[in-house]
Amino acid sequence: MNSCGDMYTALIQYFKFIPEFSSLSYSLKKSLIKNNLNQIFRLNNALILRVTGPVDDPNSTGIVNLFPPDLFLDLCKCIASLLPFLYDPILLKLFLIVLMFSTHLNIRYDNNLTANEDNYSTYNLFNIQNIYVELLWRYIISRCSNYRNAVELFSSFITRLIYSQSISMKLNEYILQTISNQTDQLVPIMKVLWGNDQKE
């Protein structure tokens, strides 16, 4: 798990280039990362798989041995379902940004996401969400031959995202059971993403 830390960190560095993300408070950025980065990471894994191919993935053997066979199969299906969205780099970037500014993609979300934020910060986050969802929708319409195809593309992504969330719940439960007594061995980014909320 710690071997994935650099990939998570690289994704966070990418989001730091987005002015709206950088302008958020530290606590709000941390909450967004904690609640959304694992879903975004799955999309990133699909991108890596498309570029390198499964044979060239140096971690493939370790991943097979890390998870139970049924969970590994679910993760593979989840990543495969996202592959059709990876051929348009602008579409992919917009998807990534919209997902990061979502309130809580993780089913096991931090329900105190905005508890320590003032109303302005919460309102600002919703405005950012609206801006990027509107950009995403306009881009999809510009790329599709008609309105119906645009709706189908957007709906298809949402359906696959919901499927990914259900797999993520299984993954969360498995990892929390596996590392419940080993949290202190995780690097900081992995503690934030996979640590038990009750122990933080």
* pLDDT-wise least confident of 100-109, 125-134, 154-163: 100-109
Q: What is the pLDDT of residues 86-127, one digit of tens each?
A: 788 888 889 889 988 887 666 555 555 444 555 556 778 888
Asked if the model's pLDDT at residue 198 lies above 50, the reply is no
Residue 139 pLDDT class (50, 70, 90 cuts): very high
Average pLDDT score over residue span 172-193: 66
Average pLDDT score over residue span 23-39: 81
Q: What are the residue boundaries of the structural domains of the chain, listed by start? A: 2-199
Residue 77 pLDDT class (50, 70, 90 cuts): confident
Q: Retrieve residue 133's tokens.
A: 């969802």
What pLDDT score was predicted for residue 106?
61
What pLDDT score was predicted for residue 22?
85
What pLDDT score was predicted for residue 149?
94
Candidate ranges 12-16, 113-117, 149-153; pick with highest mean pLDDT = 149-153
- Comparison of pLDDT for 79 and 63, the residue scoring more: 79
DSSP secondary structure of the chain: -GGGHHHHHHHHHHHHTSHHHHTS-HHHHHHHHHHHHHHHHHHHHHHHHHHH-GGG-TTHHHHHHHS-HHHHHHHHHHHHHHGGGSS-HHHHHHHHHHHHTSS--STT--TTTTTTS-HHHHHHHHHHHHHHHHHHHHHHHHHSSSHHHHHHHHHHHHHHHHHHHHHHHHHHHHHHHHHTT-GGGS-HHHHHHHS-GGG-
What pLDDT score was predicted for residue 58?
44
Asked if the model's pLDDT at residue 137 lies above 90, the reply is yes
pLDDT more than 70, % of the chain: 68
Average pLDDT score over the chain: 76
What pLDDT score was predicted for residue 179?
66
Average pLDDT score over residue span 180-185: 62
What pLDDT score was predicted for residue 138?
96
The fold adopted by the segment(s) 2-199 is: Retinoid X Receptor (1.10.565)
